[in-house]
Chain A
């Protein structure tokens, strides 16, 4: 049994295990960070810590202007990071067995661990480790 926070990137639905999330912020003020890379939306104040906000929508190449005011703060395993998505939906429960493995293991830039069919949707389960290591390579 896995719990996934599902959210939208463009027209696609993505899912993230809630174990990787520390907290969801209601509507933090996103401060502009001068000379920041194009995929950083800015920085937010998270309980006194400055946390950069990754604009996941444009980082993964989606052409969508919508950004949810809620920001997802990741659990600090490697680094502190917050994610900005198109919109945050809800938390669903799913069996690990129903995950469909993706055949593009060699594709470094895919960042999708598996696909979960759920209530007529196809939820792309985000591979957060590959995303973070991809970010670390930059």
Chain B
């Protein structure tokens, strides 16, 4: 049953007044002298008032003190104790206050426990975030390094591609040169074939002329032979003349001998014989001269015939050589025709190679463009990753700050005592 403090005071007053009245009514039957009756009733009233007042004040003060102590604990942050009032059959406002205080303590306790656990969680989370952000920073650094390497690689790639492009352009130029050379070779081969055809014709006509010359030379050789025969006939005649001259000489000698034997009579005969001898000598000399000339002529004729034979041999050899030359010219024509065909096909191949090389060059230019785009993109990525790294570092700093804040909060909250450490 509930009783408010004011009702308690009113009840106490009524009890006191009732006691006085009762005592006043009872006293005359007790035998107490009249003069003491008044005093006794007053004394009883005062006693009752005192007892009641003491009782009331004591319970009331005790409740207030326990409330005050609880508030004091609360003020110190000790949330471990509940406010406990002594049991009464008549609870009053102090009990309400104690209940309210207990509810405050309970809610505070819950709050502090929640704050504590939350701040621990926050601290842990912040540490986790910090660690993660550090890891992420590291990763971002690695990414940045990797991207820088990629960027460097892309630059070398770009250089290589440029080099490749240059090389292929040079190759294309070389192929052009090859094509030009092949065309020149083809032209030279056709020139050579033309020249060789002319040479073959010249060789044929020369062969014809050589055959004519050979015929002429053979005819001349025959003529020379008959000339030699004629000269030999002359030689025979000269031999006859020489014989006659010798005979004449001998006759002159014997005539001289005979004339000498005849003495003075033979003198004129001796002169004639001497003249005849002189004539025979000069005839013999002339015949000798003629013989010598004939021998010379014969020798020269022989030489001439020998040289003619040699000439015929040489001409035959020349004819064979010319035949071979003609064959060689035919071979040259065949070979040069072949060469021309091959050179033409080389030129065609080189032209198609040039086309391929130019398409390769354009493809490589495309690759170079892509590579330079890649390089730019990787540079952008690098910048972004560096930015990210910076952001991560900021995030890490923020997380560390947050952790510090959570620690601080935990420190602040830990000054509260929760008793059974509920919610810790």
Contacts and interface: CB of A to CB of B under 8 A. Distances in A.
Contacts of B246: 26
B242 interface: no
A88 B249 CA distance: 11
Contacts of B146: none
Contact of B254 (A3, A19, A23, A90): A23
User: In which size bucket is the chain B interface?
Assistant: 10 to 19
Interface in B223-257: 246-247, 250, 253-254, 256-257
Interface in A44-90: 70, 88, 90
A21 B257 contact: yes
Given A90-B277, A91-B277, A18 B250 contact: no
A24 B254 contact: yes
B211 interface: no
B99 to A, nearest CB: 191
A112 interface: no
A26 B247 contact: yes
B250 A3 contact: no
A65 B277 CA distance: 28
Nearest to A17: B260
Nearest to B247: A26
Contacts, number: 29
A116 B281 CA distance: 23
B261 interface: yes
B359 to A, nearest CB: 105
B247 A18 contact: no
A24 B257 CA distance: 9
Contacts of A40: none
Given A90-B277, A91-B277, A24 B260 contact: no
A3 B260 contact: yes
A22 interface: yes
A91 B256 contact: yes
Contacts of B256: 3, 18, 91
A21 B255 CA distance: 12
A5 interface: yes
Nearest to A24: B253
B22 to A, nearest CB: 228
B257 A70 contact: no
Given A18-B256, A90-B277, A91-B256, A24 B250 contact: yes
Nearest first, the 5 closest Cβ-Cβ pairs linking A and B are: A18-B257, A18-B260, A91-B256, A24-B253, A21-B257
21 contacts: A3-B256, A3-B260, A5-B257, A18-B256, A18-B257, A19-B260, A19-B261, A21-B257, A23-B257, A24-B250, A24-B253, A24-B257, A26-B246, A26-B247, A70-B250, A88-B253, A90-B281, A91-B253, A91-B256, A91-B257, A91-B277
